[in-house]
Amino acid sequence: MLLSDFNGPYGSTHYPPALGRVLGRVLNEWKPALVLSAGDLIAGQKASLSDVNVRAMWAAFERDVREPLAGAGIPFAFALGNHDASLARDRREAAAYWGAHPPALTYAERAAFPFRYSFTQGALFVAVLDATGPGVDAAQRSWLAAQLATPAARAAAVRLVLGHLPLAGLSREKNRPGEVIRPADALALRAVMERGGVTAYVSGHQAAYYPGRLGGLNVLGSGGIGGRDYVGAPGTARSVVTVLDVVGGEVRLSAYDADTGAAVPATSLPTRVDGLGGPVLRVETLR
């Protein structure tokens, strides 16, 4: 399962109703082996919020998301988003919360957890980046290159990289500098992933579900609860949650409207999105 960007307004300790409906399907119908999230789990990134406010938001996440999944034996793996870990205080509180609640994963490397880590899950190898802001520096790229060269990564049928900000703009509202990874960093990061045989870079932030191809790399915008219009396509906003089925060396995608539960076929999406850092061309599976 892929479920990202479900935080409410700044400081909120309550989640949108659609999240409860989605989690009901996760727990009672889909029963996945793993839930992945590309971030924005809480509604931080506001300096006027107190430490107590931020801790209350993590307590709400524990109550409504992590604990029900853990109780069902479903691990929750995540990248932190800008609303989770942009400010120094938010990063401190995120580290404290996740230090007390580490996901039950088979970690390959976790020295910088929860900001950066890697793990295996069945046929998957997943490397998680700290892409809470537009910079992904040379140190992170070197770390990623080393992870992708490990025996665990090379043996995996599917290799995913998970980070919050995307490589290219997908939604009209977020199609501007600061809302995507900086062009120079994005190009260098793409090169690392292409050389490392990454199946897809999975991102959040833009709240626009889109499986696509950017140059020689698959990218997957994970959507979110409270979707946004695609670049150049007004009236297309939709909240989306996605089921990922790993079959051999490919990932088959089944997307659903988080508000209505209806299937979202790939053919209903724009054939290409010409955002900042693009274009991104639509694909139906990731291989």
Residue 72 and residue 78 in contact, taking contact as beta carbons nearer than 8 Å:
no
Q: What is the pLDDT of residue 164?
A: 98
Task: State percent of the chain over pLDDT 70.
Answer: 100
Question: 282: which 2 tokens?
Answer: 């639509």
Task: Read off the CATH number of the domain in which 257 is found.
Answer: 3.60.21.10
pLDDT band for 216, please (50, 70, 90 cuts): very high
Q: Distance between CA 78 and CA 35 in Å, rounded? A: 8
Does residue 5 form part of some domain? no
Flag whether 10 is in a domain: no
Domain that holds residue 248: 17-282
Share of the chain above pLDDT 90, in %: 100
**Domain count across the chain:** 1
| pLDDT at 121 (0 to 100) | 95
Q: What is the mean pLDDT of residues 37-47?
A: 97
Listed residue (110, 168, 120) closest to 143, CA to CA: 110
* Single pTM value for the model: 0.97
Q: Are strands 76-78 and 35-37 parallel, antiparallel or unpaired?
A: parallel
156 in a domain, yes or no? yes
Q: Considering the domain boundaries, does residue 73 fall inside one?
A: yes
Within a domain: residue 1? no
Q: Is 96 a domain residue?
A: yes
Task: Evaluate whether residue 2 is within a structural domain.
Answer: no
The pLDDT assigned to 158 comes to 98
User: What confidence tens digit (pLDDT) does each residue in 137-168 have?
Assistant: 999 999 999 999 999 999 999 999 999 999 99
Position 245 in a domain: yes
Residue 249 pLDDT class (50, 70, 90 cuts): very high
Mean pLDDT of 43-52: 96
Q: Looking at residues 193-209, what average pLDDT do you find?
A: 98
Report d(CA 112, CA 116) in Å as an integer.
5
Give the pLDDT of residue 156: 98
